Homo-oligomer: A and B are copies of this chain.
Amino acid sequence: MSKNNLETIRMELTPLFDYINKYTDLTLEEQSILSARFKIRKYLKGQFVVQNGDTCKYENFVLSGCLKTFYIDNEGLEHIVMFAVENWWTADMGSFITQTPADFNVQCIENSYLAQIHYEDLEQLYLQVPKLERFFRIIIQKAFVSSQKRIINNFSLPAKERYLQFREQYPQIEQRVPQYMVASYLGITKEFLSKIRNQLLLE
């Protein structure tokens, strides 16, 4: 890669470095090592970053845009597991870490710019920049904690409370995605979501 190209990518990766530096301190040299391995890719609204059945080869950091991770059940129903916007990571983690076919789909709800790291490049990066082990250890712990809370909320909270928690966890997303996707994330019907929203307006 030419020096100019590397400089451009490095500039475009600024949000990624800012994000990583919240947890650790990348030197300029380490930023260059990352810049040489991350790729930036634009996806159009509707395009798939991961498709069920394919192996998920990239871990993706969202530079801009909005995506959903979902699962299609045996009856053909879509269940949204998570959304991702700026400064979130998205992938089918199970597929990525085992390099086996994905259960989930990751699709763009808006045109999206992603910083992508290939599985093998990330394995190399862990060796070249060991502080990335710490960084990913910490952010995955946080993701695990959210995921555990979601299991509990699904069991124990009424839909209205789950909706309020959703708004807290994803403050900007409700304006960016269709209502039926919010309903799918909450595991309720669009009609029921609409009823909850009307109730809240009256409170």
Residues of A within 8 A of B (CB): 71, 73-74, 77, 79, 81, 93-94, 97, 103-104, 126, 130, 133-134, 136-138, 140-145, 147-152, 154-157, 187
Contact = CB atoms under 8 A, between A and B. Distances in A.
B155 A187 contact: yes
B94 A149 contact: yes
Give the interface centre of A73, A148, A150, A152 by most chain B CB atoms within 10 Å.
Answer: A148
A101 B47 CA distance: 42
A77 B155 CA distance: 10
B93 A144 contact: yes
Number of copies: 2
Contacts of A97: 138, 141-142, 145
Give the interface centre of A77, A130, A141, A157 by most chain B CB atoms within 10 Å.
Answer: A141
Contact of A71 (B81, B133, B156, B187): B156
Given A126-B134, A156-B73, A187-B155, A93 B148 contact: yes
A130 B132 CA distance: 11
> For chain A, what secondary structure do more than half of its interface residues adopt (helix, strand, loop), or is it mixed?
helix
Return the 6 tightest CB-CB contacts between A and B, nearest first: A73-B156, A137-B137, A94-B145, A133-B133, A147-B147, A144-B144
Given A73-B156, A154-B151, A156-B77, A93 B141 contact: yes
Contacts of A71: 152, 155-156
B144 A79 contact: no
